[in-house]
Amino acid sequence: MSKKLIPTKNLSDEQLEGCEGLGLQALGIDAERGGAVSSSRRQFIRNVGGVSAASMMGAAALMTHSDQAQAKSTWAEWFQGNYRLMTKKEKAEAIARLEKRYSEEYGKKVTVDGTDAQEGVLFGYALNIQKCIGCRRCVKACVKENNQSRSKEQEMEWIRVLKMEKGEFSKDKMDDGYPLDYGVQVGGNAYSAAGVVLEGEHYYDPEKVPESDSHYMPIACMQCEKPPCVKVCPIRTTYREPDGPVVIDYNWCIGCRMCIGACPYWARRFNWGEPHLPKEEMNPKTHYLGNRPRMKGVVEKCTFCLQRTRHGRYPACVEVCPVGARKFGNLLDPESEVRRILDRKRVFRLKAEANTYPKFFYFVD
């Protein structure tokens, strides 16, 4: 049975190497429910749009785009529906629109992939917390891959690495703790952070890592099976894909930031201003639900590098980790690296008490 679940044929070398997947032809999913409903709804929006108050707001927002071509496609984008509820045709249109706009904006051929989840695949991640040396290469790799904003004013990083103290115990600390005047009985020596606690340093910047008194813990989206962020989203713009990642339709997000409030892992980031993504650094191979360039006022987060993983490639952070602490694979495949780790190693989920069931596991040797 397990054999069937392993995606064998689909992962040819060409796909792995090229990771091309423009994906228009790969858009195939079963006809969405109520395609007619959603298109008639859109028709309705188009009809009333000209006079509705909402469209006045849109007009105000769009007037800032001086470039005519860009404004045109943005209008069409503005009227598009929730990606998940679009028909195949609508999805293809939306993608073509974006490819055109991005290609113009970034001065190169940009592809927007719409590849859907493969059957029999559930992505999972495992991170060897014992191995991590805190070098932050995963953080920067993620930025390179996923087209985040990069400027002093608006720097966006989806992975945060925490430096944690191993704990320091010494004779001269025996009297640390509460002042005795409080009349409270407390300890002294061990009265400091030690081990895996979320009281780390986020901005550590030593000459070299790892430091002998510290260990490190990277945190990013856990792709929860029961994601609180999805539950609180008022307009269903963020949802769980069938192969596991929690994604966002950036064109449908209203920027209310409920999801940021609800996430126990602080995995979501917001585009406070227009993202700053230099043309030459832009990664032109994108996915609609993944790393395509975002606009101001919307939320974004890790998607397990959908644009890569749906074509068989490891996520960017896995490939760049110099110590091989990051492991990724198909949770439905007993032969996969993650499944082997789950079998063999002691794993834990961060904040398991939140009952969010992450598909991101930490483990130790």
CA–CA gap between residue 358 and residue 123 (Å, rounded): 11
Residue 336 binds another protein, judged by CB under 8 A: yes
Pattern 61-100, binding to another protein, x per CB under 8 A?
xx-x-------------x--xx--x---------------
CB of 324 to another protein, least distance (A): 3
Q: Which of 24, 27, 264, 349 lies at the binding interface for another protein (CB under 8 A)?
A: 264
Q: Which bin fits 177, alpha (ψ -120 to 50), beta or left (φ > 0)? A: left
Binding span for another protein by CB under 8 A among 26-34, 90-98, 140-148, 240-248: 140-148
Question: What phi and psi, each to the nearest 5 degrees, are found at residue 197?
Answer: -135, 155
- List the interface residues with another protein, window 228-247 (CB under 8 A): 228, 231-237
Residue 22 binds another protein, judged by CB under 8 A: no
What size, in residues, is the chain? 365
The residue assigned the tokens 């000459």 is 207
CA angle 137, 272, 111 (to 5 degrees): 60
Between 55 and 73, name the residue whose CB sits nearer to another protein: 55
Between 24 and 209, name the residue whose CB sits nearer to another protein: 209
Q: Which of 34, 43, 273, 352 lies at the binding interface for another protein (CB under 8 A)?
A: 273
CA–CA gap between residue 291 and residue 284 (Å, rounded): 9
Of the candidates 6, 33, 81, 17, which has an alpha carbon nearest to the alpha carbon of residue 332?
6
Residue 276 binds another protein, judged by CB under 8 A: no
Between 95 and 316, name the residue whose CB sits nearer to another protein: 316
- List the interface residues with another protein, window 297-316 (CB under 8 A): 297-299, 309, 312-314, 316
Structure tokens at 265: 């892992």
- List the interface residues with another protein, window 100-129 (CB under 8 A): 108-109
The residue assigned the tokens 């720097």 is 155
Residues 144, 281: contact at Cβ < 8 Å? Answer: yes
